């Protein structure tokens, strides 16, 4: 019994140490074309981590930015046949998030269409495959740090573990933005980090819409990695899920006081700009609560 207790104590000490080491993550989901976003505000108001939404893997293995979904612009193919083909304008914009006058030190891409990812993984994940080469090309061109998993449909453990381990070999970290299926995500963390320690290094927990009512402490206990709860800014898509800066501060402070969270963040910058809300006001909440 004593060795078992000691092992459990060691695990929880490691979890506590990891979460304590990451207690100031200030995150923003980017759901807007970078060419038309207020990038100066995104860089300078206090956010230190971003994930770019709307990037999809096609059945061909090409990586495409679905700008048509974001603002009606033509979609842009970012990587094809192992090469970056997205153009220097976008590459320079994304790389610039971490250069010059900025607080940002981590940029991720949320890669979608998990049925296509599952299919591509099934065809192989070695360095000569189109999937591997395209993701490596995008990482280099955009100076990316991680791929965010936003799977809300497939929940296929085997292929997702293989995908995460491949990303680690390329040099990415692996993260997630879950809202449900806590047992699946816990097992995914266990298998990924059991193979490559620290590869799956954080989760951005949706606490709005389908994830409304999520308790970050339950996810911390189950996943045993840093959990960053996300709130939805003022919006007209689902006004009931809107959180003003004042409401956000109250909620983040409550979680900080009670749930050992590792930071906080928002879904999304498109709504901030559409509603003429203030980046400063939302960022100041995170600065005040998380330092």
CB atoms within 10 A of CB 95: 15
Residue 27 φ then ψ, to 5°: -110, 145
Residue 30's pLDDT is: 98
Instruction: From residue 255, give the alpha-carbon distance in Å to each of 48, 227, 262, 281.
Output: 19, 11, 10, 19
pLDDT of 19 over the 90 cut: no
pLDDT of 11 over the 80 cut: no
pLDDT of 172 over the 70 cut: yes
pTM for this structure? 0.93
pLDDT of 143 over the 70 cut: yes
- Structure confidence at residue 21 as a pLDDT band (50, 70, 90): low
- Structure confidence at residue 4 as a pLDDT band (50, 70, 90): very low
Asked if residues 107 and 97 have their Cβ atoms less than 8 Å apart, the reply is yes
Half-sphere exposure at residue 235, Cβ-oriented, CA atoms within 13 angstroms: 18
DSSP category for residue 63: E
Does CATH place domain 2-290 in 3.20.20.80?
yes
The residue count for the chain: 291
- Structure confidence at residue 72 as a pLDDT band (50, 70, 90): confident
Can you read off the two tokens belonging to residue 201?
Answer: 């290094």
DSSP category for residue 49: E
pLDDT of 12 over the 50 cut: no
The ranges assigned to domains in the chain are 2-290
pLDDT digits (tens, 9 = 90+) for 254-281: 999 999 999 999 999 999 999 999 999 9
Residue 101's pLDDT is: 98
Q: In terms of pLDDT, which residue wins out, 14 or 133?
A: 133
């Amino acid at each position: 019994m004593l060795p078992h207790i000691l092992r459990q104590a060691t695990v929880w000490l490691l979890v506590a140490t990891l979460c304590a080491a990451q207690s100031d993550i200030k995150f923003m989901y980017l759901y807007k074309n970078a060419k038309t976003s207020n990038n100066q505000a995104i860089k300078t108001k206090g956010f230190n981590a971003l994930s770019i939404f709307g990037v999809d893997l096609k059945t061909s293995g090409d990586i495409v930015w679905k700008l048509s979904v974001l603002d009606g612009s033509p979609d842009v193919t970012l990587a094809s046949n192992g090469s970056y083909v997205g153009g220097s304008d976008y590459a320079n914009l994304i790389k610039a998030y971490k250069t010059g006058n900025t607080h940002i030190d981590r940029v991720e891409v949320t890669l979608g269409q998990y049925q296509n990812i599952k299919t591509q993984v099934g065809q192989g994940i070695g360095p000569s495959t189109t999937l591997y080469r395209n993701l490596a090309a995008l990482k280099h061109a955009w100076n990316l740090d991680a791929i965010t998993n936003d799977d809300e449909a497939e929940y296929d453990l085997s292929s997702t573990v293989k995908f995460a381990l491949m990303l680690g070999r390329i040099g990415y970290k692996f993260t997630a933005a879950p809202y449900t299926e806590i047992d699946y995500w816990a097992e995914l963390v266990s298998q990924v980090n059991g193979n490559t320690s620290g590869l799956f290094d954080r989760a951005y927990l949706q606490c709005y819409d389908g994830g409304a009512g999520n308790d970050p402490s339950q996810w911390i206990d189950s996943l045993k990695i840093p959990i960053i709860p996300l709130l939805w800014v003022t919006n007209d898509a689902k006004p009931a899920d809107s959180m003003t800066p004042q409401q956000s501060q109250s909620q983040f402070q409550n979680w900080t006081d009670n749930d050992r969270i590792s930071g906080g963040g928002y879904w999304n910058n498109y709504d901030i700009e559409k509603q003429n809300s203030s980046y400063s006001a939302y960022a100041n909440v995170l600065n005040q609560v998380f330092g």
